[in-house]
Structure 1
């Protein structure tokens, strides 16, 4: 007996892992504070632009949370997957954008003169999780297409 693959469950799990890795990436960046060191990296962002940057980071964290919720609703809709097909397509492209944005961040963490190995490892994990989300998102989207 074979069972259908629950791509939505895989996606929810991957996004939650991605969010936890992202939070740990931020937390690890602040760890020097607990040892009397400064976590500051030379910034090239004008102080007047910081509220916009902080708002963008808030959105960057909140959108995957919204994606997890929408995936759960789509997977549990008793009316089936047809009405959620646009969301499945949008989710796939959304996940591609997140993966693409993590690649320059990984490169930046590598080239920063005082980068820490833990931060680079976490960014590698985030990129790999992003690629897995892309793959499962593609499969979930394609699963909704009529045969």
Structure 2
């Protein structure tokens, strides 16, 4: 019985945990509403223009949709090109998460529970970077070896 976990399983699990954490991050910010408290805070002026709000919602959709597509793509595609693009996507998300943590440190008051969650998501992203890189390299080495024979 082979109990070794494949790169695909690890990547899909990490993306799923990342998405759940991101959703919880959004929900956690709204939890005060259930207690009659204000959820607005110092991220600059609130978007009041319908075009600004629509733009923000499209960006949020893309932020959630890309990992969903990465999960599906990882399950179905194994080409070196896909693995390279996927690795690049994981790096972009890690960079965005890093800046998100930094920017959240400038919100007054600092919501430390959000900072902790974002640091955990950042670390999950780093693990995802490493596993994605290993997956990308695994297939590339196999191709190089078969071409040199």
TM-score, normalisation: structure 1: 0.87
Task: Pick closer, same or farther for the CA change 1:38–1:87 going to 2, 3 Å.
Answer: same
Match of 1:93 in 2: 88
Query: Equivalences for 1:73-112 in 2 at 5 Å?
Result: 73-74=76-77, 81=78, 84-112=79-107
How does the TM-score come out when normalised to structure 2?
A: 0.86
Query: What is the match of residue 68 of structure 1?
Result: 71
Cα deviation, residue 71, structure 1: 0.5
2:41–2:108 Cα contact (<8 Å) kept: no
Task: Find the counterpart in structure 2 of residue 32 from structure 1.
Answer: 32
Matched, 1:116 2:116: no
Greater mean alpha carbon deviation, residues 43-52 or residues 109-118 = 43-52
Partners of 1:32 and 1:2 lie apart in 2 by 47
Which runs of 5 or more structure 1 residues have no equivalent in the other structure? 75-80
Instruction: Please report how far the alpha carbon of residue 2 of structure 1 lies from its aligned counterpart in structure 2 after TM superposition.
Output: 7.9
Distance 2:76 2:29 in 1: 34
Q: How many pairs were matched up? A: 139
Any unmatched runs of 5+ in structure 2?
none
CA distance in 2: counterparts of 1:4 and 1:140, whole angstroms: 14
Distance 1:86 1:35 in 2: 49
In 1, Cα distance between equivalents of 2:115 and 2:96 = 15
